[in-house]
């Protein structure tokens, strides 16, 4: 009689039970023959580590973003480069993509919440077999190797923020670069190779891989009939070489005259400036200087227009008045110390000619030659740089016509002189003549100087320059 025996063996594998039903054979000698069996090894599936996926630096100095939309929820399974959420900065919308394969375990922000750079966005439980050894997430202070993948809306590109920053610094559109990473991801080496092709620079070999240019397409012979037109080759597109800029910013502390200038100009911001502009016909003065120039040079002195400008500055209210904030009054100084703004290697310096009221035009020229020599060699002393009562800036020696000069406290006025131009003008007989014209711009402290006073001063100064012979009668 035949008997059938059944026995059940269980195999545990990842919480699934598999039922194995072996078959026993019965021989004629009533002896049971057992089939060859082997034991099964029991193993249990284990979960991988839970990693924090942090919001990394997305460039352009952005430190916080607004979470606009989540594309995943807790319990969803994601793969690398899957979209996780969309964030909005003050410059662009950015889609954040995953860098891990795993399961979403926690969302740290609600929609419309503010997320800070460097803080966790989600927790991802990764597969134990493929879990990274270390969770590296870069912050703005460590932006050399960024592992968060991001995709700007409207561009089908995948690149890390560090790669995007490198492309932005070299004015490269990511859409023009062929990515060689996973799923077409653009790597740093792709950007460098793109730059080398544009500039012809030789880059060192990459430690990761070498990008080989595609082989040229083989020409396929074809029979061209007598009536077929041979297509003309298209003209070669010009290659724009993009220079690779490797310069770095540097910070230098302000020292010496530059630091003093910052303090002086900061104090000048408290002065209510009143501006007044005019033009001066310099034709007669140009002829007079031309006559006296050789005579002055024979005495070893270079004669410019500046001694005439300084000597014509005869108006006590503007020359001598100084504002004293502590006593809330104006102080009239006896001396006319006219300063000259001078461009030197040390910066902007304003030495002054002392006691102009008792000097001749030639004496002023001698003193100006001395100050200019000291300024060029950087040897101007404190006595030369202090005590000024009025300042003139000859900006026209460099270029320009009008300016807006800034008063040098505690003085109450300053003038900027433009370049001398040859322009057509009408003379007293209504004839068009060639005239040498200079523009002048005045600034006055409106707390002490009103518009009428500045206008009278400018008219008197202008009259001496347009009719230099009157200096012989009036000026000492």
So which residues are the catalytic ones?
A: 446, 450
Rounded to whole angstroms, the Cα distance separating 351 from 357 reads 17
User: Of the candidates 275, 411, 280, which has an alpha carbon nearest to the alpha carbon of residue 341?
Assistant: 411
User: Of the candidates 391, 344, 355, 351, which has an alpha carbon nearest to the alpha carbon of residue 371?
Assistant: 351
Query: What are φ and ψ of residue 338, in 5° steps?
Result: -90, 120
Rounded to whole angstroms, the Cα distance separating 312 from 280 reads 13
Distance of CA 370 to the CA centre of its chain: 42
């Amino acid at each position: 009689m035949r008997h059938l025996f059944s026995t059940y063996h269980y195999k545990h594998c990842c919480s699934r039970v598999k039922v194995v039903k072996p078959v026993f054979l019965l021989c004629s000698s009533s002896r049971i023959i057992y089939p060859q069996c082997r034991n099964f090894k029991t193993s249990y599936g284990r979960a991988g580590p839970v990693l924090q996926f942090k919001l990394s630096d997305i460039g352009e100095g952005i430190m916080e973003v607004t979470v606009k939309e989540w594309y995943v929820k807790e319990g969803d399974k994601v793969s690398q480069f899957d979209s996780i959420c969309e964030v909005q900065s003050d410059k662009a919308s950015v889609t954040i993509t995953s860098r891990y394969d795993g399961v979403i375990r926690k969302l740290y922000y609600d929609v419309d919440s503010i997320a800070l750079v460097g803080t966790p966005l989600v927790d991802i439980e990764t597969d134990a077999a493929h879990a990274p050894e270390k969770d590296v997430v870069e912050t703005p202070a460590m932006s050399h190797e960024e592992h968060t993948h991001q995709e700007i809306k409207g561009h089908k590109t995948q690149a890390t923020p560090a790669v995007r920053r490198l492309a932005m610094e070299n004015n490269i559109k990511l859409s023009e670069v062929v990515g060689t990473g996973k799923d077409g991801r653009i790597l740093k080496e792709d950007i460098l190779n793109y730059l080398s092709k544009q500039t012809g620079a030789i880059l060192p070999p990459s430690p990761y891989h070498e990008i080989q240019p595609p082989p040229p397409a083989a020409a396929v012979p074809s029979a061209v009939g007598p009536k077929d037109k041979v297509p003309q080759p298209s003209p070669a597109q010009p290659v724009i070489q993009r220079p690779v800029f490797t310069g770095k910013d540097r910070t230098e502390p302000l020292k010496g005259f530059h630091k003093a200038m910052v303090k002086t100009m900061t104090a000048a911001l408290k002065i209510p400036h009143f501006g007044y502009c005019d033009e001066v016909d310099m034709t007669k003065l140009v002829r007079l200087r031309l006559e006296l120039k050789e005579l002055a040079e024979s005495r070893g002195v270079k004669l410019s227009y500046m001694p005439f400008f300084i000597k014509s500055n005869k108006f006590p209210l503007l020359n001598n008045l100084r504002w004293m904030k502590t006593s809330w009054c104006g102080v009239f100084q006896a001396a006319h110390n006219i300063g000259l703004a001078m461009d030197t290697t040390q910066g902007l310096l304003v030495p002054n000619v002392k006691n102009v009221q008792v000097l001749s035009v030639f004496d002023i020229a001698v003193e100006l030659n001395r100050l200019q020599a000291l300024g060029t060699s950087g040897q101007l002393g404190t006595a030369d740089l202090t005590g000024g009562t009025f300042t003139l800036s000859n900006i026209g020696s460099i270029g320009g016509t009008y300016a807006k000069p800034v008063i040098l406290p505690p003085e109450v006025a300053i003038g900027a002189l433009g370049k001398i131009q040859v322009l057509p003008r009408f003379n007293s007989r209504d004839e068009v003549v060639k005239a040498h014209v200079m523009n002048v711009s005045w600034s006055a402290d409106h707390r002490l100087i009103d518009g009428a006073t500045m206008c009278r001063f400018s008219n008197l100064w202008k009259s001496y320059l347009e009719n230099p012979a009157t200096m012989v009668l009036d000026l000492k």
